[in-house]
A = this chain, B = another copy of it.
Amino acid sequence: MNQVNLKRLAQELNLSIATVSRALQDSYEVSSQTKERVKALAAELNYEPNAYASSLRRNISKTIGVVVPEVNNHFFSLVINGIEEVAHQSGYHVLIYLTHDDYEREVAITQYLTGGRVDGLLMSVASESQKFAHLQKLYVSKPAIVFFDRVCEAIATANVTTNDYESGYLATRHLIEAGCRHIAYLLVSGNLSIGRIRMQGYQAALRDHGLPYDDTLVVSDDGDDERNTARIMDLLRRRPEVDGIFASVEHLAISSYHACHALGRAIPAEVKIIGFSNLGVAALLAPALTTITQPAYEMGKAAAQILLCAIEKKRAISPGQSLVLKSELFARRSTAS
């Protein structure tokens, strides 16, 4: 391995470590002549500073952590893309942690992130997490956190979200205007803020249009696609009057398709479906899926910008910096009248 470090460079050049270090940082107090010499040798030997020594010394790691439930998910992978874009521009590295919506796993992750491994954190909380003690602990030791999409309301930091209430309302109204009268709501798992808020929009739209809210038409995610499909089939069999489905998260919309196909219910003739989704091929589905699409990439960029700005300026992040971006409704065949 024979690591090339400052000492090695200094020896070969007959200079002190300090001078070499300064030269490589373009310090103004080094003659341009020695700077050249140093840089030449550094390039020749392919010198790269040891990130750990540097981080330890400066108490800065130029690394941010991203904690998300899944990466194999259109929404989150787009967010990560946005985050990486901004991070890369600013010279930051990105550590990824997946919770798989598991509370224990989230606790473990937040625990070792208190070790100063990252300068800041972007996070979408696991849907199972109802207890926030671990997040509060983390927040105390490392206040540079920005939540996105699945926020933790108990912590006074910036959140980047979308207009979920409004989207829930519009999606439901869209179904009603397409003629639906018995609309099922597919709830994302746990006590998740986004699930609740979208559902409030759903309830408000029903009320405003004189339709009753019926909690037996609400199916909640159980974490497994097969079982979700079975639950939806169950609902459709038990309640044949259901003529509309509002999936508050992408995979539930997909499960709804499978359920309808399995039962031979025609979409959109018998059942109309709308879902939150960042699926790129939504328009190519049979039938094309009507979606509420969140600006995932932009959310990632925005959240990363807030975080990096705070880190660089060493300023605390305040709830006042929160951002609410707009989702967009793309009407397609799955809700055609």
Contact = CB atoms under 8 A, between A and B. Distances in A.
Interface in A64-83: 70-74, 77-78, 80-81
B71 A77 contact: yes
A50 B285 contact: no
Contact of A279 (B1, B281, B286): B281
Contacts of A63: 95
A254 interface: yes
A245 to B, nearest CB: 15
Number of copies: 2
Interface residues of A, number: 51
Contacts of A114: 46, 48
Contacts of A50: 56, 115-116
B48 A111 contact: yes
Interface in A14-61: 46, 48-53, 55-56, 61
Given A284-B254, A284-B285, A285-B281, A115 B49 contact: yes
12 contacts: A48-B111, A51-B115, A56-B56, A63-B95, A71-B77, A72-B74, A77-B77, A84-B98, A254-B281, A281-B281, A285-B286, A286-B287
Interface of A: 1, 3, 46, 48-53, 55-56, 61, 63, 70-74, 77-78, 80-81, 84, 88, 93-98, 105, 111-112, 114-117, 137, 141, 254, 257-258, 261, 279-281, 284-288
